[in-house]
Amino acid sequence: MSGYVPNENFNAAKLMPGDIAEAQMTFYAGTDYRLLVCTQSMLGQASFQVTDLDGNEIYNNTNDHSDHFDFRVSGTQELIINLQIPAQKDVQINPQGCVAILVGKKVEAN
């Protein structure tokens, strides 16, 4: 989150391989944001998508496999973050691990 100050909200859950989760968050006009998705290494890297309330895709990390998304919204709005943990094959016991969505605001230069 270098260059960004995390907000006070903590969005985390215990998930297993193949699980899907969704979070709805408010983002305010004129602010530069970084959305960071962190997973425990045993789960692999989560794929995530950001959409508006109408389901229009704003960002999808499946092409660049990034763990973060930097953006600015033109007007205050609710966005939905959908994430999926990759399924694991040929395992007898699926691990359960922590997944967190962090949101930070860009630090203003003085």
H or E element that contains 90: none
Residue 90 and residue 26 in contact, taking contact as beta carbons nearer than 8 Å: no
Predicted confidence at residue 109, as pLDDT, reads: 65
User: pLDDT tier at 19 (50, 70, 90 boundaries)?
Assistant: very high
The least confident of 41-55, 63-77, 91-105 is: 91-105
Average pLDDT score over the chain:
92
What percent of the chain is predicted at pLDDT more than 70? 98
Rounded distance, CA 93 to CA 75, Å? 45
Residue 37 and residue 13 in contact, taking contact as beta carbons nearer than 8 Å: no
Predicted confidence at residue 38, as pLDDT, reads: 94
